Amino acid sequence: MKHSMNSGRIPIAAVALGVMVLIAAACMAPEDKSIVVASTTSTQDSGLFDYLLPIVKRRTGITVKVIAQGSGQALDTGRRGDADVVFVHAKSEELKFVAEGEGLKRYPVMYNDFVLLGPKSDPAGIAGMKDISRALQIIKDKRASFISRGDRSGTHIAELNLWKDSAVDIETDKGPWYKSIGQGMGAALNTASASNAYVLSDRSTWIHFKNPGELRILVEGDRRMFNQYGVILVNPDKHPNVKKVLGQKFIDYLISPAGQEDIANYKIDGQALFHPNANEAASTRELFPSLNLTRAPAPVPPAWN
């Protein structure tokens, strides 16, 4: 009988606890001065945002919430109106995005370059080559293991363009040696490291990567491996919920001298991972000014052809 009299109390206690937990959850509601930026895994995996976002908050008061996806995915997120700003590195896709009216205007922000990584043993024998197309052709001819992002990211699109430049129709010419993993840059590097395969990566993520194993940079410096990042405000006319004032403020910061300097100051072991180039004229004149961005101290910066 003690049961029937007290049995009311335990459910009430449980409900009270539950309500407290829910309130705690609700208290984690988003703040007002925040924007959602859909960006790439390379900007995340390289640690750029971990470094930059607190600075953004200090300078502009905006809390930036970054969703890290492949460039293609990020642009799709923008098309759905689920992000306020997109910040990616797939120029052709970005221009299409603006042309479709999904974005207002594309601003270049910064660049880095792609590098072709591979195992120290270099089964395809392409180390040190200057011509990325030739290197890829050899990889395909020798059926050397190659890891592809396969996720419509900027890196993936760049990789596909490079295959095209090498006169390889990767769709028909691929075989078991070509592994498309559909994941981010970090995951691709992990897979390549673990399976002794070649992989195309942006340099910044590679520098920041902590599990290199036997991977080394084998081909770099080809001008086709230039990698430009752009930022676009999602069109508020198409998606009324877009925080256009805050979003534009964020973009304005990125391309401002202060923002550009902050980007340039993101360094690992004294090496800058991204080069600011919002001032477009500067980028065409002076590509890769100081290419000293290797993991180990490089003897000579690769020649820029």
Partner 1 sequence: MSTRAPATDLPIRFSEVAILAGGVTVLDCISITFSAGAPTVLIGPNGSGKTTLLRAAMGLIRPARGRITWDGSEVSPPTRRAIMFQRPVMLRRSAAANIGYALAAAGAPRAERAKRTAGLLSLVGLQALAGRPARQLSGGEQQRLSLARALARDPAVLFLDEPTASLDPAATKAIEDIVRAVSTRGIKVVMATHDLGEAKRLAGEIVLLHRGRIIESGPAHSLFAAPTTDEAKKFIAGELLV
Partner 2 sequence: MPENASALHLVLTGDPTLFAIVRLSLIVSLSATFIAALIGVPLGALIALTRFRGREPVIVMLNALMGLPPVVAGLAVYLMLSRSGPLGSWGLLFTPLAMVIAQTVLVTPIIAALARQTIEDLWLEYREEFAAMGVGPLRRVRTLIWDARFSLLTALLAGFGRAAAEVGAIIIVGGNILGFTRTMTTTIALETSKGNLPLAIGLGIVLMFIVMLISTLAWGARRAGERFSG
Residue 2 binds which one of partner 1, partner 2, none, with CB within 5 to 8 A depending on kind? partner 1
Binds partner 2 (CB under 8 A): choice among 1, 5, 12, 25: 25
Binds partner 2 (CB under 8 A): choice among 12, 28, 300, 303: 28
6 sits near partner 1 (criterion: CB under 8 A): no
10 sits near partner 1 (criterion: CB under 8 A): no
166-195 mask for partner 2 (x: CB under 8 A)? -----------------xx-xx-xx--x--
196 sits near partner 2 (criterion: CB under 8 A): no
4 sits near partner 1 (criterion: CB under 8 A): yes
Q: Which stretch binds partner 2 (CB under 8 A): 13-21, 142-150, 255-263, 287-295?
A: 13-21
Shortest CA distance to 115 belongs to which of 219, 227, 226? 219
Residue 18 binds which one of partner 1, partner 2, none, with CB within 5 to 8 A depending on kind? partner 2
Residue 53 binds which one of partner 2, partner 1, none, with CB within 5 to 8 A depending on kind? partner 2
Residues that bind partner 1 (CB under 8 A): 1-4
